[in-house]
Structure 1
């Protein structure tokens, strides 16, 4: 069976370092470091939740997220990618040339617009098992939605997912009770300081995780 190939070929190390310096100089608030740290943190949290018994993964606003194909733990789950149909069509065109069909059988597409569609109904139509232990990843989306849409989505997930399910998400405002709540700066330090690095990263952008009871 063919292995997963990246959507884009990685640049040579020298070019990669130049790009890092360029981005960090042009955007000193740390968007690159923040994105790298949050991705690694969410990867780890998702892998831990899957290892702890979650059998379903929901990627809300999945976009071009490749976790379903990158993380070995997710190959043992059913993954529901929720996003706008147009985005899903574009992603599928890329996947056809990058990921063997046999490595995509655990992924189910859920076309939905979180601002207008019923998330629970859309998930059920795609085969989601209600009240089963689930990990939900909501990365880089909440800050583009209204507060009402965020509240409605979280309430819907709480009613749909089983006990001990986990919601992993990013947000800007902070007024929640969470078992993990780190800034992108703190997440970057967790991974980079042991390597002797201190890349720019934002302190206001946050990565969080909560349990659904």
Structure 2
């Protein structure tokens, strides 16, 4: 797990804050996202409370990084929220239960779709830095930006509700659950592992996580920053359910660290491993998946994101600005899966693939029905596997 304390994690928090600032057509509501931002990032998030300023900033990001890291991170967050909620509470016809009553944003709900590039979003250089310059701030201010610092929390009004017909889109792999996928882990029981948690706020934002044990696993340096920010933003009672576990996946014993923190191998578990695999080695990914399959009870779920290998080796059509940006910033993607080979790879490690989708599909399902035609990556994917 990379020692990022954490520019990439802060970029994703900014994307969530921008989405939360939308008043009528947002697909996630994360009131904690802005709390994880510092300096210029917090300034931009507050500025985004003015609709004209937010639109300008979103257009700038989407033009500068055509691969679509912003929208990809947003729809990924929404899908994973639903997968976690589904596993913990069962398929009840409602979206993820979050603070503020967030409802489905549109499309076909639970088969809805994967997402992308969150943590690596905007990791690259000059275009991003331009936003923090005086010129960048002035450009935003010309559309009413200064008013943002004074008004509105931008969280009134939620997106329109959507259907849940289970219709699919990508060669039969886009159903959130087959018969096993809609089994519940057990209301009020189980445990959740946020692996490589970064500035993930699910432990405090999702209602379903309040009645289960939550383990946040991350590199110690990143985690130290996260704990400081959480301490300032979240009440003590809410923090008590979260156990922080410092682990470097490139060298530490994940299973041993979880057991020492109180992880139970008898209870079914939901693991969220988001925005991490593409920064690891093949050996580290293999070791982590084998460890999770070995420590978690049968029927547990592992939700993870990955990059299509074709975007790394040049064999596909996915070359572009996004990959170049993270490489220039010294954070190159180092690992990817071949989607066609993923079911067999997981089966060899005691796991069964349940879902495998792209960010582009997720955007088509969540954003397009709201009239939002925003770029999202076809090469960045989200998968769900079950421990056999």
TM-score range, shorter chain: over 0.9
1:197 and 2:372 correspond = yes
Residue in structure 2 matched with residue 210 of structure 1 by the alignment:
385
Which residue number corresponds to residue 226 of structure 2? 91
Instruction: Find the counterpart in structure 1 of residue 70 from structure 2.
Output: 32
Distance, in Å, in 2 between the alignment partners of 1:137 and 1:100 is: 23
1:184 is the counterpart of 2:359: yes
Displacement over 4 Å in runs of 4+: none
Q: Counterparts in 2 of 1:162-181, with a 5 A limit?
A: 162-172=297-307, 173=337, 174=339, 175-177=341-343, 178-181=353-356
Identify the match of residue 123 of structure 1 among 258, 265, 269: 258
Aligned equivalent of 2:288, options 122, 147, 153:
153
CA distance in 2, matches of 1:180, 1:113: 27
In 1, distance between residues paired with 2:293 and 2:71?
32
Task: Name 2:86's counterpart in structure 1.
Answer: 48
Range with bigger deviation, 48-57 or 104-113 = 48-57
Which of 186, 206, 210 aligns to 1:75? It is 210
Structure 2 residue aligned with 1:64: 199
Bigger Cα Rg: 2
TM-score (norm 1): 0.94
Q: Within 2, Cα distance between the matches of 1:210 and 1:153? A: 14
Q: Work out the CA distance in 2 between the residues paired with 1:19 and 1:29.
A: 16
Q: Which 5+ residue runs of structure 2 have no aligned equivalent?
A: 1-30, 38-44, 90-183, 308-336, 344-352
Q: CA deviation at 1:161?
A: 0.5
CA distance in 1, matches of 2:53, 2:203: 28
Residues 6-51 of structure 1, C-alpha deviations (whole Å, 9 max, x = no match): 4156531222211111101111111111111111111111111111
SS in structure 1 at match of 2:233: coil
CA deviation digits over 1:81-112, x for unaligned, max 9?
A: 11111111111111111111111111000111
Task: Provide the alpha-carbon RMSD of the alignment.
Answer: 1.4
Name the SS of the counterpart of 2:383 in structure 1.
strand
| CA–CA distance in structure 2, aligned partners of residues 190 and 202 of structure 1 | 14
Q: Give the number of aligned pairs.
A: 210
TM-score by length of 2: 0.53
The CA deviation string for residues 139-164 of structure 1, in whole angstroms up to 9 with x for no partner, is 00001111111011101111110111
How many angstroms apart in 2 are the aligned matches of 1:154 and 1:33?
A: 28
Q: Is there any run of 5+ residues in structure 1 with no aligned partner, and where?
A: none
2:275 maps to which residue?
Answer: 140
Distance in 1 (alpha carbons) for counterparts of 2:52 and 2:231? 30
Structure 1 distance, partners of 2:57, 2:81, is 23
Give how far 1:131 is off: 3.1
Q: SS state of the match for residue 140, structure 1?
A: coil
User: Distance between the aligned counterparts of 1:18 and 1:96, measured in 2?
Assistant: 33
